[in-house]
Chain A
Amino acid sequence: GAGVSQSPRYKVAKRGQDVALRCDPISGHVSLFWYQQALGQGPEFLTYFQNEAQLDKSGLPSDRFFAERPEGSVSTLKIQRTQQEDSAVYLCASSGRQAQFSPLHFGNGTRLTVT
């Protein structure tokens, strides 16, 4: 594909609802990252996959957050029982090799608003 694709672009959820955010990385990219970006802030790391293996999930803020990448391509970030503090832009990024060697390519993000 031409770039990293994220869907939906915008999501409004009522407090307590579950949401699922999708990321289609650039075809063939090994590494995939999820970041959370609050307004006026830099992105904060959530989790990292190398192929289908989740190598680091230390940034997930609570056990309500879950990410998967079962076939090493598309990834889904799931948030259960959403809270207002979950409102943010969720960014997905991929890179062609291990993260330390190649640039990150970001999608346009999903803006989540919890009411």
Chain B
Amino acid sequence: KQEVTQIPAALSVPEGENLVLNCSFTDSAIYNLQWFRQDPGKGLTSLLLIQSSQREQTSGRLNASLDKSSGRSTLYIAASQPGDSATYLCAVSDGNQFYFGTGTSLTVIP
């Protein structure tokens, strides 16, 4: 079974800092990887989707990379803002289901 790990579990940074969230997975036979954010009491919002043939995707201040062979992905957030405070989850797909990590709880301090 695919195991997804996210490090760190929690992160607190001052506003304006650039930061990196890490995601690792055990089985490299994936179709795609998605990064989500989850606000308290809410569902998940898709941030970026990287297909298995791609190396990275960018959206605004977010950049996600994928190294399938080593089973790793990173989410880079530039110039962090207090509104970025949320839990960030990565998920990998085997074509049928998505396997989620337990998330990184991010707090951006004004």
**Which residues from chain A sit less than 8 Å from chain B, CB to CB?**
4, 6, 33, 35, 40-45, 48, 55-56, 59, 91, 93, 98-109
Contacts and interface: CB of A to CB of B under 8 A. Distances in A.
A10 B97 CA distance: 25
Interface string B73-110: 00000000000000001010101111111110000000
Given A103-B46, A106-B43, A109-B43, A56 B102 contact: no
23 contacts: A4-B43, A40-B102, A41-B102, A42-B91, A42-B100, A42-B102, A42-B103, A43-B44, A43-B100, A45-B97, A55-B96, A91-B43, A93-B44, A99-B95, A100-B31, A100-B93, A100-B95, A101-B31, A101-B51, A102-B49, A106-B45, A106-B46, A109-B42
Given A43-B98, A108-B43, 17 more contacts: A4-B43, A40-B102, A42-B91, A42-B100, A44-B100, A48-B96, A56-B97, A99-B31, A99-B97, A100-B93, A101-B51, A103-B46, A104-B44, A106-B46, A108-B41, A108-B42, A109-B43
Interface size class of B (residues with CB under 8 A): 20 to 34
Interface of B: 4, 31-32, 34, 36, 41-46, 49, 51, 89, 91, 93, 95-103
Contacts of A45: 97-99
A42 B97 contact: no
A104 B98 contact: yes
B31 to A, nearest CB: 3
B56 to A, nearest CB: 16
Contacts of B34: 103-104
Contacts of B89: 42-43
